Structure 1
Amino acid sequence: MQAIISRSKPMGSITPPASKSMMQRACAAALLHTGKTIINNYGTSDDDKAALQIIQNLGAHVRHSKDSIEITSHGINPVSDTIHCGESGLSARMFIPIAALYHQPITITGEGSLMNRPMDALTTILPQLGVLVISNNAMLPVTVKGPMHVADIEIDGAMSSQFLTGMLMAYAFAAKEKTTISVKNLNSKPYVDMTVDMLRQYGKRIEHDNYTSFTIVPQAALHDDISITLEADMSAAANFVVANALTGGGIEITGLNENSLQADKAIMQVVNPKRNAFVFDATDSPDTIPLLAVYAGACNGQSKIGGMSRLVHKESNRAESTVALLGKLGVSFVLDGDVLTVTGIQHFNSCEADSYNDHRIAMAAAIAALYADGDVVINNAEAVAKSYPHFFKDLAALGVKCNLKYE
């Protein structure tokens, strides 16, 4: 799909979709919980759909209603020996350890760029816990055969906190005695906070020592029905935050939780109507970087964004695709190691840009069009479905001219 976005001043009210990070974690916990989970305001992105299909393949029963889904589970009882994660890195890295709790082989696979994303933190650790692991050079497909023997371990969190999230999910429901996961070089700490909080809602207790170790303290299993209401996705909301800054502010964003644990709420600290140049370390919120780069391109002066090294293993090499977009827009930049320096300009160039099949790049390009001197054409714009299927529909509802062309 090709999206042609014209310069516009969006006006109106918007409620972003449900947090896909929370949705996927809720699905995993609902599978491991013995009983019923009600998820209100559930997500419908491609990643959310993948997580729902995974837990059904692993034995959960899912029933949809208009505003909620009901998940009933008695633990892992697979109806298939293969689970498909789509392009979701979180689902892959979370469900590999969960699948390893089971005593028969389960293969975890996916598609697209996910097949090239490293899983080595798990393929190294799980054999230490008695799990048979077969992988494609530490990438998908990965086959695991448990049962996992829960024990104290150490994990490297430099590449992604998703590996730790997967181990915490599995350990929280499987540990019979106090067990500790030691962690070095942990990035994206807010995402781990989100995992711990989700498990808390299922009666699980996890303590951490300044994010260097996480101790699972077993609790009596809950058999009560669990009801979870997902908050709006801060990553999706960030698009409209930046849109307001670029156009003078006409969008009311509703459904946000001011006390959210979502990492991407950090963008609220940076973006402002005066478009002042800024310095911001996005190491813990790397998904904000494409939008922050676009915003920086409209700021007064020179801005610096840290955390670029976190972008290599995303749906695209997002460091490269972000600066490629800036180049198309006519924005001057210097990428030096982990830091991107961006010099703001008066308006962006009309251009044709590629999404690189990356939802974050597609959405950042669309928001950039609001500050351009002509149309911005986005190729492979269907990538937005990974996290925000109705993104262009919502933009159009705010008065943005969106011309979508389907091949």
Structure 2
Amino acid sequence: MDVKIYPSKLIGTLNAPSSKSYSHRMIIAAALAGGISEISNVTGSNDIKVTAGAMEALGADVLADGDVYTVRGIKAPAAKADIDCGESGSTLRFIIPVAAALGTNATFRGHGKLPERPYTPYVREFSKKGISFEPQSGLPMTISGRLTAGEYLLEGDVSSQFITGLMFALPLCEEDSVIKLTSPLQSKPYVDMTIAALKNFGINIYETKLGGLPMYLIKGSQKYSPCRVSVEGDYSQAAFFFTANALGSEIRVKNLIPDSVQGDKAIVDIIEKSSTGDGLEPFTVDVGDIPDLVPILAVLGCFTKGTSRIVNAARLKIKESDRITAIADALNAIGGKVTAGDDFLEMQHVDKFTGGEVDPCNDHRIVMAAAIAATASDAPVIIRGAEAVNKSYPRFFEDFKALGGEFEVL
């Protein structure tokens, strides 16, 4: 689907979609609980659907009725499973340890850039515990063996998803385990979200320090308990509309928890500090903990009065796209002045975007960032492959239109 967006001010009230990160975590935990759980306020994006499908392949029953997911936990794990992770890195990295802890011989498949995204830390650590990977990189890939308790050493600066995956799995092992980090932890708020989500299901993870780095202690033989829970709104999606406000729109965003542990809540402070009443002040933002905000922060940075910078962004080169290069190319194509480096973006001031055509590289967040950029353009913006929003926010353009956004499907 290609769309042509006409410059317009967005006005109105919006319910933020549910947190995709929390939704993944709640569905997996519910599937591991003995009984029936009800998870409400779930936005049924493509990523969430493949996580639900993965847990069904392992033996759970998942019924989606609107935004309510009813999950009957796994009674007898599947001996074998074929798991299609779509384009979801979270699904792949969360479910590999879960399948291993259940003793399921599982084949994982993926699409888009997912087969290129690494799972090397698991190959290294799980091989020590008797888990085999065939092959040891790329997809499709099959694991066999049963995960056992013990010490797991993980890099903190590769992806917090590996830590989360083990946090789901290790409580199922008989003995106690520990996750030790060998480098500083980036995206720590996502680990905090995992710990918070697991508490809803009776699982406790204990954080301490070792050599100044977080270390996680996990008791074995824990039991997941079913529960009823509502998923909070997603700050990473709300960020698009907060930024639209900074560029002149008037949107009230609801369904957000002020004291949320979501790292992407940082968008509120970033915009507040940049907004002075006399234009937007330049900013430098370290995105080590908030990589999902990069595309929309790049849009915001184009309208600050000087040069704004996004730093510590190297990991974004292996997202749905090479997100550093892709967002720079997208904004430059519509009149931005953005420089991309190996681990940074630099944005020079523009008065307006000038319109043009954007290739979002099949990246949902670049589609949404380009749509918001179009509201501050003096000519229409064409976005190719806009259906990429289905990965995380399938009703984005419906909400955009309800707020007064003007576009046509080409």
Identify the TM-score tier after normalising by the shorter chain: over 0.9
Are 1:175 and 1:218, in contact at CA under 8 Å, matched by a contact in 2? yes
1:227 aligns to what?
Answer: 228
Match of 2:325 among 315, 320, 327: 320
Q: Structure 2 matches for 1:136-285, cutoff 5 A?
A: 137-172=136-171, 174-185=172-183, 186-210=185-209, 211-218=213-220, 221=223, 223=225, 225-247=226-248, 249-272=249-272, 273=275, 274-285=279-290
Query: C-alpha separation between the residues in 1 aligned to 2:58 and 2:99?
Result: 8
Are 1:347 and 1:372, in contact at CA under 8 Å, matched by a contact in 2? yes
Query: C-alpha separation between the residues in 1 aligned to 2:102 and 2:221?
Result: 21
Q: Which moved more, 1:212-221 or 1:43-52?
A: 212-221
1:378 aligns with 2:383: yes
C-alpha deviation, 1:330, in angstroms: 2.1
1:43 aligns to what?
Answer: 43
Query: C-alpha separation between the residues in 1 aligned to 2:352 and 2:264?
Result: 26
Are 2:79 and 2:105, in contact at CA under 8 Å, matched by a contact in 1? no
Tell me the amino acid that sits aligned with residue 182 of structure 2: K
Counterpart secondary structure, 1:204: coil
Are 2:175 and 2:221, in contact at CA under 8 Å, matched by a contact in 1? no
After TM superposition, what 4+ stretches of structure 1 lie above 4 angstroms from structure 2? none
Counterpart secondary structure, 1:97: helix
Query: C-alpha separation between the residues in 2 aligned to 1:83 and 1:336?
Result: 36
Tell me the amino acid that sits aligned with residue 335 of structure 2: G
Query: C-alpha separation between the residues in 1 aligned to 2:34 and 2:222?
Result: 12
1:116 aligns to what?
Answer: 116
> Which ranges in structure 1 are unaligned for 5 or more consecutive residues?
none
Are 1:40 and 1:228, in contact at CA under 8 Å, matched by a contact in 2? yes
Are 1:283 and 1:307, in contact at CA under 8 Å, matched by a contact in 2? yes
Query: C-alpha separation between the residues in 2 aligned to 1:132 and 1:385?
Result: 34
Counterpart secondary structure, 1:240: helix
Are 1:175 and 1:216, in contact at CA under 8 Å, matched by a contact in 2? no
What percentage of aligned pairs have identical amino acids?
A: 35
> Which ranges in structure 2 are unaligned for 5 or more consecutive residues?
none
Map Cα deviations across residues 18-37 of structure 1 (whole Å, 9 max, x no partner).
11111111111112111221
Query: C-alpha separation between the residues in 2 aligned to 1:206 and 1:105?
Result: 27
Are 1:54 and 1:83, in contact at CA under 8 Å, matched by a contact in 2? yes
Are 1:286 and 1:307, in contact at CA under 8 Å, matched by a contact in 2? no
C-alpha deviation, 1:69, in angstroms: 1.7
Query: C-alpha separation between the residues in 2 aligned to 1:361 and 1:79?
Result: 39
1:345 aligns with 2:350: yes
Query: C-alpha separation between the residues in 2 aligned to 1:45 and 1:287?
Result: 16
Match of 2:306 among 291, 301, 306: 301
Are 1:131 and 1:144, in contact at CA under 8 Å, matched by a contact in 2? yes
Counterpart secondary structure, 1:83: strand
C-alpha deviation, 1:235, in angstroms: 1.2
C-alpha deviation, 1:181, in angstroms: 0.9
Counterpart secondary structure, 2:13: strand
Q: Which moved more, 1:34-43 or 1:87-96?
A: 34-43
Counterpart secondary structure, 2:310: strand
Query: C-alpha separation between the residues in 2 aligned to 1:334 and 1:371?
Result: 20
Are 1:84 and 1:110, in contact at CA under 8 Å, matched by a contact in 2? yes
C-alpha deviation, 1:308, in angstroms: 2.1
2:78 aligns to what?
Answer: 78
1:129 aligns with 2:145: no
Q: Which moved more, 1:2-11 or 1:103-112?
A: 103-112
Q: Over aligned residue pairs, what C-alpha RMSD do you find?
A: 1.6
Counterpart secondary structure, 1:100: helix
Question: Under a length normalisation based on structure 2, what TM-score does the superposition of the two structures give?
Answer: 0.94
